[in-house]
Amino acid sequence: LIQLYIPLNFLGVMYREIRQALTDIERMFGLLKTGREVEDRPDATELPAGALSVRFDRVDFHYDPKRQILHGVSFEVPAGKTIAIVGHSGSGKSTVARLLYRFYDVSGGAVYVGDLDTRAIKQDALRRAIGIVPQDTVLFNDTIRYNIEYGRPGASEEEILAAARAAQLHDFVAHLPDGYQTRVGERGLKLSGGEKQRVAIARALLKNPPILIFDEATSALDSKTEKAIQSQIEAAARGRTAIVIAHRLSTVMNADEILVLDGGRIVERGAHASLLSQNGPYAAMWALQQQEALETNT
Ligand code: ATP
């Protein structure tokens, strides 16, 4: 019987891994309707172990040849640094993340991960190296432990606790009567947006990828939750190469570089303070969000 159990258990783990990857990605990218667009080249390679940089080199992209979406986008995220992408709805922020994940191939230019053109990397290797914290995480009708373990089925108890601690989730869970055995999801305990995001971060950290993409939720949050999310993102990004797709500028003030996208072009870039002093589009967005925050919190 054990001979039958091992392969079946292995299949179960594989199935869960694939389901998990698909769930987060579909949520992030709204990809349910799109198929697999790219194929591995016969000579595609693995990625080196350890930290990885990300580089976009004059990337052009269109979904439909009649409408170009990205125009000559160039930036670099050195290994271990955090870059934020901000810009109005439809400016192309998620498209940048989709190209990094190689859901599509660029129409011009190239995307590099760890100095390798993503078209020369095995897709499985590329996707294993990238963790995603989607806007709105799907929680399964199961325990908190199960929901975290989904990041890497078979992870040990210590690894799960370490991920929960790093995601600043542990204290919250430890105070629940059933702890990590608490059931969540539609039929269990309802978690707040911030708590769900911490489960998503714990999941992504358990996967332990060198590259993390955060897709920040668009919905309005009170300033306390906003601060908590900012510190969660910073803690999770530490020691990794991170790209934060941000809707609230206050959550990315400390990014090493902020890119402002408009109509698929980078129109401004720099650290928060220098962008503010430029009095350009970033400073205008900042002023508007400060005003909105005042109105929400009064
Ligand atoms: P938001 O802040 O609203 O999430 P965004 O800045 O992430 O927006 P993208 O999702 O990258 O914007 O979209 C950029 C442009 O590409 C939009 O005009 C959008 O309509 C278009 N677009 C996105 N996905 C597709 C697709 N699968 N097919 C065709 N056009 C698309």
Task: Quote the pLDDT of residue 130.
Answer: 93
Which atom of ligand 1 lies at the shortest distance from residue 218's CA? 2
**Residue 266 alpha carbon to ligand 1 centre in Å:** 15
Report which of 253, 243, 263, 215 is spatially closest to residue 73, judged by C-alpha positions: 263
**33 or 265, higher pLDDT:** 265
Q: Confidence class of residue 235 from pLDDT cuts 50, 70 and 90?
A: confident
134 lines ligand 1 (CB under 6 A): no
**Closest protein CA for atom 19 of ligand 1:** 90
Q: Confidence class of residue 31 from pLDDT cuts 50, 70 and 90?
A: very low
Q: Confidence class of residue 253 from pLDDT cuts 50, 70 and 90?
A: confident
**Residue 92 alpha carbon to ligand 1 centre in Å:** 6
Distance of CA 169 to the CA centre of its chain: 18
90 lines ligand 1 (CB under 6 A): yes
pTM for this prediction: 0.83
Query: Can you tell me the distance from the alpha carbon of 147 to that of 189, in angstroms, rounded to the nearest whole number?
Result: 13
93 lines ligand 1 (CB under 6 A): yes
Task: Quote the pLDDT of residue 14.
Answer: 59
**Residue 70 alpha carbon to ligand 1 centre in Å:** 10
63 lines ligand 1 (CB under 6 A): yes
AA identity, residue 52:
L
Tens of pLDDT, residue by residue over 69-112, are 999 999 999 999 999 999 998 999 999 999 999 989 999 999 99
pLDDT > 70: what percent of the chain?
A: 84
Distances in whole angstroms, Cα of residue 38 to Cα of each of 16, 33, 57: 23, 15, 19
**Residue 214 alpha carbon to ligand 1 centre in Å:** 17
**Closest protein CA for atom 18 of ligand 1:** 90
Query: Can you tell me the distance from the alpha carbon of 155 to that of 56, in angstroms, rounded to the nearest whole number?
Result: 33
**Residue 264 alpha carbon to ligand 1 centre in Å:** 10
Mean of the per-residue pLDDT values of the chain? 86
Between helices 281-297 and 223-237, what is the axis angle to 10°?
Answer: 130
Task: Quote the pLDDT of residue 38.
Answer: 78
**Closest protein CA for atom 9 of ligand 1:** 92
Contact (CB, 8 A) for 20 and 42: no
For residues 146-153, average pLDDT: 92
Q: Confidence class of residue 177 from pLDDT cuts 50, 70 and 90?
A: very high
**Closest protein CA for atom 21 of ligand 1:** 90
Contact (CB, 8 A) for 208 and 184: no
**Residue 285 alpha carbon to ligand 1 centre in Å:** 20
Q: Confidence class of residue 24 from pLDDT cuts 50, 70 and 90?
A: low
For residues 168-176, average pLDDT: 93
pLDDT at residue 65 greater than cutoff 50:
yes
Global ipTM? 0.97
* HEC-encoded secondary structure of the chain: CHHHHHHHHHHHHHHHHHHHHHHHHHHHHCHHHCCCCCCCCCCCECCCCCCCCEEEEEEEEEEECCEEEEEEEEEEECCCCEEEEEECCCCCHHHHHHHHCCCCCCCEEEEEECCEEHHHECHHHHHHCEEEECCCCCCCCCEHHHHHHCCCCCCCHHHHHHHHHHCCCHHHHHCCCCHHHCEECCCCECCCHHHHHHHHHHHHHHHCCCEEEEECCCCCCCHHHHHHHHHHHHHHHCCCEEEEECCCHHHHCCCCEEEEEECCEEEEEECHHHHHHHCCHHHHHHHHHHHHHHHHHC
